[in-house]
Amino acid sequence: MTRPFATLALSLLALGMPLLPSAGRSAPAEEVVSPSRPDQLRLADDLQRKGAIFYGAWWCSHCFHQKNLFGTEAAQRLPYVECDKTDDGRERCRKAGIRAFPTWVLGDKRSEGVMTLDELRNWAGLR
């Protein structure tokens, strides 16, 4: 049985993208660094209510960037699934067909890559 995340890791390496931080640099922190504004909190809550799911990985710099767009408190409210810390998370992401990070899923809709807050609002039909 092959592991999809091992395949993803090999693909990233083949593209010249590092899996681990360079010496002297720290890995993307799991904690977001700026306080949330009311609009960021509202969007996180609205995405959760609509049933959106944000799939990511702890080592993914793009996922860290996506969370940072929300600020500290709102990022903690996001409907986030960690795909590479536990076997349960890896299995949940495998079943969801996650092939790239970050991936947003809402019903039959799927979007891969970082989205701005405005793009997320539009994508989720929250305008």
- Backbone phi, then psi, for 83, in 5-degree steps? -95, -5
Give pLDDT, residue 86. Answer: 97
Task: Quote the CA–CA distance of 56 and 66 in Å, as a whole number.
Answer: 10
Give pLDDT, residue 31. Answer: 63
In this prediction the pTM is: 0.75
Sorted by where each starts, the structural domains of the chain and their CATH numbers stand as 4-8+32-123 (3.40.30.10)
Q: What is the pLDDT of residues 85-107, one digit of tens each?
A: 999 999 999 999 999 999 999 99
Q: Letter for the amino acid at 47?
A: L
Give pLDDT, residue 44. Answer: 98
Q: What is the pLDDT of residues 40-87, one digit of tens each?
A: 999 999 999 999 999 999 999 999 999 999 999 999 999 999 999 999
More confident residue, 16 or 123: 123
Give pLDDT, residue 8. Answer: 52
Q: What is the pLDDT of residues 3-37, one digit of tens each?
A: 555 555 545 445 544 444 433 334 444 566 799 99
Give pLDDT, residue 4. Answer: 55
Task: Quote the CA–CA distance of 55 and 103 in Å, as a whole number.
Answer: 5
Give pLDDT, residue 12. Answer: 47
Which pairing describes strands 103-106 and 109-112: parallel, antiparallel, or unpaired? antiparallel
Task: Quote the CA–CA distance of 93 and 82 in Å, as a whole number.
Answer: 8
